[in-house]
Structure 1
Amino acid sequence: MSLHLTSLQLDSRSSLMYDAIVVGARCAGSPTAMLLARAGHRVLLLDRASFPSDTLSTHVVHQPGVAALARWGLLDRVRASGCPPVDRVVYEVADIRITGGARGLAGQRAWYAPRRHVLDAVLVESAVAAGVEFRGGCTVRNLLRDATGRVSGVEFRHRGRTHREHAALVIGADGMRSTVARLCDAPYTVRHPRLTCAYYTYWDSVGTDMELYERQGGWVATVPTHGGASLVLAYFPQRRFDDIRADSGPAYAEQIRATAPGLAARLVGKRPLERLRGSGDQRNLFRRPAGPGWALVGDAAHHKDSITARGITDAFTQAETLVRHAGPRLVGSPPGLDRALRAYERECESLLAPGYRATLSAARLHLSEQRLSVLRAVSSDPELTSIYLDVFAGITTAEALYVPRLFTRL
């Protein structure tokens, strides 16, 4: 996929006013910029990378994210890229096997797992098509502030030159290690220790389902992506990270064999399609997501362990939430924008907290007898299976499982 982007001619002396400057152009930043531009705002989008380019990812877009792509008119482009829909999940743990599909949301029942060099390029291209001015290869060095201390723009380097641009709102969509968050002194509001480390690569002809395997101290997942390949991930307790990264290939293979022996048997005789990638830096946090003249979206505002693969979907949700609150207030008085940003902060906390708790629970890699009892009851009831997979996808919360019919089975 080639990416043809409108070039913005920048001058280091320029003080041109934008309604918003978005720093970071992946799955949080590009949708935010696109939605603001579609609402009639003038938006500058900056990123260190050029597109298409890859990044570490679990790839999965759950149904709330798929529904967002459909609302934005982008789902057909993701489908046309050759990314297959995933309609069925197979989940094996202990003596339990759960198979089925989610009830879905807004008519979307399938998961998708696009390669990030495909998905992110689609998002950037769509932002540019909406009128966003994009510049890749930029490094933000500082934030500009007015006489009251309010953030009023960014200073960044591009091709060896320093540029300064001003805007009513600077939005950090630049990931877990966000430069914008650091420069804003955005405080952490919630933090928990790292719980897992994860490694993945791609294998050919693994299957068409999303497969999840769990045991005490281990988690393995596989999901089909482009070109007949599947992403196969292995999770380990964080305490093992130093040993695993010293010899990650054998550790990855052994975790698949121990946690998902049937999957391991299907990989015998095959070779991975790409190098093994991984990370032990899976932080669990919320930052304050907004302040005077600034806001954070995506992993910059909230990051959690990748074991539930909620990052892309949550980024889409945050983008829509920020634009809904702040978009109408970008042209107007600062107090009105500040009230909108506080409303964004409150809504994000309520939207993201249930998924955060569920992710921490899964990332502890611990199987309690109570949880196994619930899973046994779910596995014997197709309707409960669909509800459970809705919970997994973030369509509903775990409370939806606790219906009278389930209690009669426990």
Structure 2
Amino acid sequence: MPEIVERADVVIVGSRCAGTAMAAPLARAGRTVVVLDRAAFPSDTLSTHVLFPMGVSEVAKVGALDRILALQPSRMTHLQIDLLGAGRTEKFREVDGIDYGISVPRVDQDAALLATTRDAGADVREQCAVTRIVRDNGRAIGVEYTDPAGTTRQIRANLVVGADGRHSTVAHQVGAWEPYRRSRNGRGMVFRYLDDPAADTTWASTLWEGRTEDTIAFAFPCTPKGRLLVLFMGPRAEVAEARADGEAYFARKVSEFPILAERIAAPGINRRSGQRARPTRTFAARPVRVGR
């Protein structure tokens, strides 16, 4: 038995999108909520840059939208699609009074969610790694974790929530990890940030999606204003190519999408920002799991 045992109404493992979305409203409702995360924030992650109106609506429900809008992201109101040369533009549908999407890097997005959750009254503890689910007659009644100093602690709670991602410790330990269906994901993702030559034009309110036979490409404005995120979702094998020579890979893929190439090569770009490219980042997608 650990030397330190606490009690709470709810303990949530994971403090990013899912964890904060549950922690903030529960804390506002007067529950004692403890949130544990192994990361030290600010902390980046390769996921969920773009929020469509439904996602923006969820951020508003958490109470973090004002913080995120204070970063002055471009409000994307339209989606421009170029599918094998056939194009169309659609306006986003309104959700809960919100008719725009935004793109905020996760290091900033999660910081806003975390600050909002703490303001709501939740006790968010960083660098705390959950090692064991505490049970009583088979029911999860708490967690055991190590704090930043390496001390083993335990929290007993009426409700234990696993919001700790694709390698969830909670899911593994309660037997919910093995899905009833598994789909092989053969895609990989390669993306980079560019200085945006069209930051003050209609492009700034448009998310662009283009497709060839084997690749989906995206371009969307993100914070800080004047920055463009370009992402290629192609065959998983291309991740190795991008890691070996990011510049060559990026140039080749851009050439496959004329609209994207035209935007990146906009007249005057060298005078405005020099098109300073950030490092190419890659992600090899894992199999898609569907739980019980």
TM-score (norm 1): 0.63
User: How much identity, in percent, do the aligned residues show?
Assistant: 32
Q: Which runs of 5+ in 1 are unaligned?
A: 1-11, 289-410
CA distance in structure 2 between the partners assigned to 1:219 and 1:272 by the alignment: 23
Q: Which runs of 5+ in 2 are unaligned?
A: 199-203
**Which amino acid counterpart does residue 155 of structure 1 have in structure 2?**
E
Contact 2:189 2:285 survives alignment (8 Å): no
- CA RMSD of the aligned region, Å? 1.9
CA distance in structure 2 between the partners assigned to 1:46 and 1:150 by the alignment: 20
Q: Which range moved further: 156-165 or 269-278?
A: 269-278
* SS of aligned partner of 2:103: coil
**Residue 385 (structure 1) aligns with:** none
Distance verdict in 2 for CA 1:89–1:165, change over 3 Å: same
Does 1:171 pair with 2:161?
A: yes
String of CA shifts for 1:303-327, please: whole Å, max 9, x gaps: xxxxxxxxxxxxxxxxxxxxxxxxx
Give 1:241 deviation, angstroms.
4.2
Give 1:239 deviation, angstroms.
4.6
Write out aligned runs for 1:3-402 (5 A). 12-146=2-136, 148-158=137-147, 159-186=149-176, 187-207=178-198, 208=204, 209-227=206-224, 228-258=226-256, 260-268=257-265, 270-288=274-292
Contact 1:46 1:136 survives alignment (8 Å): yes
Distance verdict in 2 for CA 1:215–1:108, change over 3 Å: same
Contact 2:207 2:218 survives alignment (8 Å): yes
**Which amino acid counterpart does residue 172 of structure 1 have in structure 2?**
G
CA distance in structure 1 between the partners assigned to 2:262 and 2:160 by the alignment: 50
**Which amino acid counterpart does residue 277 of structure 1 have in structure 2?**
R
More helix by share: 1
CA distance in structure 2 between the partners assigned to 1:74 and 1:125 by the alignment: 8
**Residue 201 (structure 2) aligns with:** none
**Which amino acid counterpart does residue 192 of structure 2 have in structure 1?**
T
Contact 2:20 2:62 survives alignment (8 Å): no
CA distance in structure 1 between the partners assigned to 2:172 and 2:22 by the alignment: 20
**Which amino acid counterpart does residue 214 of structure 1 have in structure 2?**
R
* SS of aligned partner of 1:33: helix
CA distance in structure 1 between the partners assigned to 2:155 and 2:62 by the alignment: 28
**Which amino acid counterpart does residue 223 of structure 1 have in structure 2?**
F
CA distance in structure 1 between the partners assigned to 2:234 and 2:276 by the alignment: 20
CA distance in structure 1 between the partners assigned to 2:277 and 2:125 by the alignment: 32
Give 1:76 deviation, angstroms.
2.2
TM-score (norm 2): 0.87
* SS of aligned partner of 2:167: coil
Number of residues paired by the alignment?
A: 275
**Which amino acid counterpart does residue 36 of structure 2 have in structure 1?**
L
CA distance in structure 2 between the partners assigned to 1:34 and 1:256 by the alignment: 41
More strand by share: 2
Contact 1:241 1:280 survives alignment (8 Å): yes
* SS of aligned partner of 1:125: helix
Give 1:74 deviation, angstroms.
2.6
Give 1:83 deviation, angstroms.
1.5
CA distance in structure 1 between the partners assigned to 2:79 and 2:140 by the alignment: 46
Give 1:249 deviation, angstroms.
3.7
Give 1:100 deviation, angstroms.
3.0
Give 1:77 deviation, angstroms.
2.0
